[in-house]
Amino acid sequence: MSVFQQPYKKSGMISLRCSFGVVLCAVLVSLLVLAIPVSATTWTISNTSSLATIQGAINGMGNGDTLALNPGIYWLNGITYSQNITIEANPLTGGNQNNTIIDGIRGNGNGILQSTSGTYELTINNLTFRNAWAGNSGGAVQSKGSVTVEESTFINCSALNDGGAIDAGNSVTIMSCTFANCLVTKYNSDGGAVWAEGPITDTGSTFTNCACVYDGGGLYSGNNLEDLGSIFVNCSAQVGGAITAEGNVTDLSSTFINCSAQDGGAIYANGGVTATESTFINCIAVNGGADFTTTGGSFQFCRFVNDSTSGTALCTVEGHEGIINATYNWWGTNSPSASLIGSWVTYTPWLVMGVTATPSTIHTNQISSVQANFTYDSNGVDHPYSFLTCWMQHTECYAVPDGIPVSYSVLIGPGYFSPVTSATSGGVASSTYTPTGAGLAMIRVTADGQSFYPQINVTGGSTSTVGIFRNGTFYLASANQNNGGTVNGFTFGTKGDIPIAGNWTGSGKDTVGIFRNGTFFLASSNTNGGGTVTGFMFGTTGDVPIAGHWTPGASDTVGIFRKGTFYLASANQNNGGTVTGFTFGTTGDIPVVGDWTGSGKDTVGVFRNGVFYLASANQNNGGTITGFTFGQTGDNPVTGTWS
């Protein structure tokens, strides 16, 4: 059957024995029956049903019933209702807005769904409405009462008068919906996507290419409007390119891009506007590219970029109740112009961008964290954001909108960034600089119209010196010359140990270590006893120890070579953490380690009878191999950065 009505449901059965009068008993039974709640009925429809069948199902629905549509495309328009109802994609058959679609086929001008009488409530859940047209108002939905729409999509919906997609005589609640290419065409028409006589509450929705001739390219409310976390792109109107409200507008964490109007490129309010952590990009108007309000308002911790190309970014009517408080905003530059922001607007102090490189002087085997910070204002006061701190102190904390793109590049000198672009979170964005050699690196960090050019000094490219290990004593030269210059001699280890060296702490300075029968002992300082010693088991007797920074910029970790197989530790601890094991070379080869390509990452190699074989990757067979003759059988290989 194309129409199925679920059984009538009651909350339970009640048994009553009356022995003290028929009349009293009848009264009690009547009261109990009235007290029993009745569950709403769900009616299920498939897309093979005719328009008459669907209309018949709605006509038979009781107040509060639900019409569940199985997945499919429904070609229909001119459906009417006269009760409180819910229309949704049937979740029991996998229905959702992607596969359950009502297509108005640009019908006879009646729209898709409309109420005939009474201020009844309509709820729509997880459906797509498309190709709807109304010769009056409400291309997809026209309601004399309230409308609630959740997780639904409206595409190519239009009307002659108000509400290209939705027209409501009372309030409208929108949650996680998408409106695209919705418009109204008649002069003095309002609400390109949604028109409501009452208040509008919108959360997490997207409006793209929505327009009207007069007020509210995306949303129009005859009352107050609240918007949380929504996105408006390419919306336009004569007044309020994205939003118009006859009352107040409250906006939190929403984004407005390329919206335009005569007054209020993004927002117009006949009341006040309160916007926090919202973004306005390329919104234009003669009066108020981002906002026009008649009674002032507040914009704080917002992002404004290119919103004053044809006027000012913010505008309020002179002589009305108040000015606009636009303090603590990011204007896309550290030096915003008052003439571009607007009259009757207080914008000092504003938020500024700062950049730090920590540390600013590093060794070739270190990294630097480069951070862009938007938490300081133009008076030098920090406004740090911490959700945990704010929650514990029961205070409201804000930061510039998340997602501001920050780009990083190396203009002069060695090294690279990863990632090359990051986004702000809590007012901060960061990237990692990794050197590929020694020298002075000039970098550029850019966000919107602001750039910084800090420098990072990379040392250590050619300052390695030699040392020797003799029967438990190290002798480290200060210069590569006869007798080694000033020699640092200290005891660490014992006769028979195998010496190694590496940057174990990421400080940029190498310290020594020894390998003894499958155990590493790594010194924290080049002094007697080695300072704090890190000892751990990795490998076994007969293995050949090695060390390198296997991950770019990280501290050095150890490895071993055993009969043609390398085992590289990810951590200097028992068993080496996550171990990378791969075959390269053969029994009898002598292992070597170095940064052969200047990438900041060490790879292995082997020396065999006067021939070096250098791997391009720490993997089986070594990736691309560089092989060349240098030396002869019996020589001992060494590696280093000699120039």
Which among 207, 195, 282 has a CA at the least distance from the CA of 245? 195
Strands 368-377 and 219-221 come out as: unpaired
**Per-residue pLDDT, 423:** 97
* Adjacent-strand bridge partners of 475: 468, 489
How distant, in Å, are the alpha carbons of 87, 88, 155, 268 from that of 8? Answer: 19, 20, 36, 49
Q: Which helix (H) or strand (E) holds 27?
A: helix 22-35
How distant, in Å, are the alpha carbons of 47, 82, 173 from that of 104? Answer: 14, 20, 23
d(CA 293, CA 320): 10
Residue appearing with tokens 């992607």: 98
CB 290 within 8 A of CB 273: no
Q: Per residue in 209-218, is it b (16+ CB within 10 Å) or e — as a string?
A: bbbbbbbbbb
CB 627 within 8 A of CB 580: no
d(CA 211, CA 141): 17
CB 336 within 8 A of CB 303: no
Question: Which SS3 state, helix, strand or coil, does residue 60 take?
Answer: helix
Residue 129: CB atoms within 10 A of its CB come to 29
d(CA 107, CA 109): 6
Which among 548, 542, 539 has a CA at the least distance from the CA of 575? 539
**Per-residue pLDDT, 396:** 64
**Per-residue pLDDT, 506:** 75
* Adjacent-strand bridge partners of 196: 168, 221
Can you state the percent helix, strand and coil of the chain, rounding each to 5?
Answer: 10, 40, 50
Under DSSP, the state recorded for 211 is: B
Q: How many CA atoms lie within 13 A of 387 on its CB side?
A: 2
| Amino acid present at 564 | G
How distant, in Å, are the alpha carbons of 49, 52, 67, 130, 207 from that of 153? Answer: 22, 25, 18, 8, 10
CATH of domain 352-459: 2.60.40.10
Strands 66-69 and 42-45 come out as: parallel
Q: Which residues contact 110 (CB under 8 A, 6 or more apart)?
A: 77, 78, 134, 135
d(CA 545, CA 593): 11
Radius of gyration of the chain (CA): 36
Mean pLDDT by 10 residues, the chain (643 residues): 34 33 40 48 88 88 95 93 96 96 84 90 98 95 97 97 97 98 93 98 98 96 98 97 97 97 95 95 92 91 85 67 85 88 87 96 88 96 74 69 97 94 96 91 96 91 74 88 88 94 82 96 94 96 93 81 96 94 95 82 92 94 91 84 61
Q: Which residues contact 386 (CB under 8 A, 6 or more apart)?
A: 397, 426
Which among 579, 574, 613 has a CA at the least distance from the CA of 594? 613
Which among 150, 49, 51 has a CA at the least distance from the CA of 91? 150
CB 335 within 8 A of CB 312: no
Strands 219-221 and 243-245 come out as: parallel
Tokens at residue 433, please?
């600089």
Map out the domains of the chain as residue ranges: 352-459, 467-629
Angle at 450 between CA 444 and CA 452, to 5 degrees: 30
Q: Residues in the chain, how many?
A: 643
Tokens at residue 493, please?
């280890």
**Per-residue pLDDT, 463:** 58
